[in-house]
Amino acid sequence: MVKPSLVLAWSKSGKEAEAARGARGSGEGPVPGPTSGKGERGDEREEERRLVRRAQSGDEAAFARLVERHGDRAYALALRIVRSTSDAEEVAQDALVRAWRSLPRFRGDSAFSSWLYRIVARRAFDRAAVLKARRNREAGTEGIDHLPAVAAGPDPETRERAARLERLVAGLSEVPRTVVTLYYYQDRSVAEVARILKMPENTVKTHLSRARAALRTGWAGEDAAEPPPAAPGQGRTR
C-alpha cells in the first residue's frame, strides 16, 4: 500500500533530524528501526516505549519511526471508513498531526498504536459524516483497489475470491466495516477494538457477528445470481 504523503514527510524529516544530531556528535545512537513479528511484546514493546518518550520530548526522528511502524495501517483504517483515497490521506495526515501535538499528554495506558488508531477512527468518522451529507446517499467504492487483499494468491480464482470479499466488506456500513478492518485485517483483539472505538466488548462482538452474517448472505446471494454453466453445445449458433 502506498503511504500517505505525510508519512513520507515525517520519515524524511526524521532522517534529517537524525543525521543532524549525529553530525553534532551528541553521542546518541540511531533511532531503532521497525522490528519484525506480530504484536508489541517484550523488547519490541520496550523499544516502542523508548520511541514514544523521545517523541514526547520533541524528537521528530523518533516520531518518524513510530509513523513508519503504524502509518500504513492508520491510512488503511481511514480508507476503510471514508472509502476515498484522497479523503483517507487527508484523514491520516490530520490524525498524525493531532497525534504529534497530543503526544505530550499520552500517558501510555494503552499501546501507542491503539491510541493512534483511536484518533484516526474519530477523524475518519467525522469526515465520513460530512461526505455522506455531501454526496446524498452515494454508494461509493472509490479506492477499493488500494485496500489490502485478503488471502490473495497467485492463481486467478483466489484473487477473484479476495476481490469479491473486498466488495462485500466495502458494502458494510461504517462502524461494522471498521470493526471488521481492525479485527480481521489488523489482527486486533476484541478488547483492543473496543478500546480503539470506545464501545463495550459485547458491542464489538455483536458488530462482528452481524458483519459475518451479512457477508455470508451477500456471498450466497452472488452465488445464486450467477448463471449456471452452459451444457456442452448450448449457446452455439450454426
pTM: 0.58
- Could you give the CA distance from residue 111 to residue 59 in angstroms, rounded to a whole number? 19
Tell me the per-residue pLDDT of 190-238, one tens digit each, with 9 for 90 and over.
999 999 999 999 999 999 999 888 888 888 877 776 655 554 444 444 4
Residue 191 C-beta-side C-alpha neighbours within 13 Å: 2
* Residues of the chain where predicted confidence (pLDDT) is lower than 50: 1-8, 10-40, 136-152, 231-238
Q: What is the pLDDT of residue 228?
A: 53
- Could you give the CA distance from residue 136 to residue 141 in angstroms, rounded to a whole number? 15
Q: What is the pLDDT of residue 168?
A: 87
CA 219 vs CA 57, 163, 165, 212: distances in Å = 50, 12, 8, 10
Domains and CATH numbers, the chain: 1-18+41-145 (1.10.1740.10), 148-224 (1.10.10.10)
Answer whether 192's CB lies under 8 Å from 182's CB.
yes
- Could you give the CA distance from residue 43 to residue 155 in angstroms, rounded to a whole number? 38
- Could you give the CA distance from residue 196 to residue 107 in angstroms, rounded to a whole number? 15
Q: What is the pLDDT of residue 186?
A: 85
